[in-house]
Amino acid sequence: MLNFFLIYYLFMALKNNEGVLLINLGSPKELTKKSVKEYLKVFLSDDNVLDLPKILQQLILRLFILPFRPKNTLEAYEKIWTSEGSPLIISTGSIADKLSKKTNWNVNYAMRYEEPSIEKALHSFKEQGIQKIYVISLYPHNALATTVTTELETILVANKISPDFELIFIKPFYNEKIYIEAMANSIKPYINDSKFDKIIFSYHGIPKRQAKKTDETGVHCFSSGECCEIVSEGSKDCYRSHTRVATSLTAAELGLKDDEWEIAYQSRLGPGWLTPFTDKRLKQLPHEGKANIAVVCPSFISDCLETLEEIDIRGRETFTNAGGKNMTYIPCLNDSEETIELLEFLVKAS
Q: Domains for the chain: give ranges and CATH numbers.
A: 2-172+337-349 (3.40.50.1400), 177-330 (3.40.50.1400)
Convert the pLDDT of each residue in 220-260 to its tens digit: 888 887 888 878 887 889 999 999 999 999 999 999 999 99
Please say if the pLDDT value at position 57 is more than 80.
yes
Please say if the pLDDT value at position 4 is more than 80.
no
Q: What is the DSSP string of 12-32?
A: ----TTEEEEEEEEE--SSSS
Place 11 in a pLDDT band, splitting at 50, 70 and 90.
low
Report the alpha-carbon distance of residue 271 to residue 343 in Å, rounded. 35
Convert the pLDDT of each residue in 180-200 to its tens digit: 999 999 999 998 877 899 999
pLDDT score at 5: 45
Mean pLDDT of 313-335: 98
Cβ partners under 8 Å of residue 164, min gap 6? 131
Q: Which residue has the higher pLDDT, 143 or 233?
A: 143
On average, the pLDDT of the chain sits at 94
Q: What is the DSSP string of 77-94?
A: HHHH-BTTB-HHHHHHHH
* Phi, psi (deg, nearest 5) at residue 304: -155, -165
pLDDT score at 7: 46
Please say if the pLDDT value at position 3 is more than 60.
no
Please say if the pLDDT value at position 277 is more than 80.
yes
**CA neighbours closer than 13 Å in the CB half-sphere of residue 279:** 14
C-beta atoms surrounding 68 within 10 Å? 10
pLDDT score at 341: 98
| Cis peptide preceding 140, ω within 30 of 0 | no
Mean pLDDT of 50-66: 95
Please say if the pLDDT value at position 25 is more than 70.
yes
List the single range of 93-107, 164-178, 234-248 with lowest mean pLDDT: 234-248
Mean pLDDT of 89-111: 98
The end-to-end CA distance of the chain, in Å, is 20
pLDDT-above-90 percentage for the chain: 86
Please say if the pLDDT value at position 53 is more than 80.
yes
